[in-house]
Structure 1
Amino acid sequence: MNNNYDPNLVNAFLKEYQDRGMMKWQGFYLSDHTVASYKRNKEKEIKSNRKHLQEMSVPEIFKELSDAQKNNSKVSVDLRQVNKNNILLEPVTGYIKGKDTRGVYIEEKYVKFEDIYSVFCEWHNVINV
């Protein structure tokens, strides 16, 4: 045991010591955290800068959807709606499972025809290559 213990020295240290606050924890901010933060910011940036494809007429939309269903091709449907931050919603992507008079089923999601801005069919890329 150390016999040089001085209670006055301890009290003086505690009175004068200034905690550096968050600075002492900055060394614990790992590169994994930095990468994850960068990815989240990049995804937000991409979503906020998303633009519509070229708008299609109703007959063009019906033709694309019919061709995609006939060829069993994957489609990406660009929606007219925006979220509360005025950012375009993600396109609905998948295979057409069915249609009715008011909309189309793409995988498990129902999309009304009036909400469709444009349609991109995967089979166009295959044919045009």
Structure 2
Amino acid sequence: MSKEFDKRVDDFFRTYQDRGMKKWQGFMLSDFTSKADKIDKERAKVYEKKKPMNEKEISELLMIAYSNHRSVSVQLKQLDIDDKFLPDIVGTVDGYQVDHVVISGVWIELEDINHVEIK
């Protein structure tokens, strides 16, 4: 019986083909793959350039939002490493000075703002 078993083992290893990485794909965790999908979708988003505004228009809208406790959406002039616009900064105007504004705790120089909308 051991000769028959040895023959089967020899036959198995002689014809066995390792599937390489395919055998490990089942071990990918679902939360890892869903996180990776989320990151890919976020990177694929394209934020269109909104109509540029001058500092006077920007200041007026920010002051209105500050006075009336309204939320704003601010698009910065900055681009990411792929030359795409960043997502808008959305929140309430916490503070306002001549050269910068604070929106939900984020300090922003007025010269860095491309567009402002009151929500």
The bucket for the TM-score relative to the shorter chain is 0.7 to 0.9
Alignment match, 1:11: 10
Alignment match, 1:125: none
- CA distance in 1 between counterparts of 2:11 and 2:91 reads 70
Q: CA deviation at 1:40?
A: 3.3
User: Is the CA contact (8 Å cut-off) linking 2:95 and 2:103 kept in structure 1?
Assistant: yes
Residue-by-residue CA offset, 1:66-97 (whole Å, 9 max, x unaligned): 10001100011100001222121222111111
SS at match of 2:81: coil
Alignment match, 1:21: 20
- CA distance in 2 between counterparts of 1:102 and 1:40 reads 34
Q: CA deviation at 1:57?
A: 1.5
Superposed counterparts of 1:1-129, under 5 Å = 3=1, 5-26=4-25, 37-46=36-45, 49-122=46-119
Calculate percent identity across the aligned residue pairs: 34
Alignment match, 1:127: none
* Amino acid paired to 2:20: G
- CA distance in 2 between counterparts of 1:31 and 1:99 reads 45
Pair 27,89 (structure 1): closer, same or farther in 2 beyond 3 Å: same
C-alpha RMSD over aligned residues? 2.4
Pair 75,22 (structure 1): closer, same or farther in 2 beyond 3 Å: same
Pair 30,109 (structure 1): closer, same or farther in 2 beyond 3 Å: closer
The gaps in structure 1 that reach 5 residues or longer are: 123-129
- CA distance in 1 between counterparts of 2:65 and 2:49 reads 20
Point out the more displaced range, 58-67 or 17-26. 17-26
- CA distance in 2 between counterparts of 1:118 and 1:61 reads 7
* TM-score normalized with structure 2 length: 0.81
Q: CA deviation at 1:23?
A: 3.2
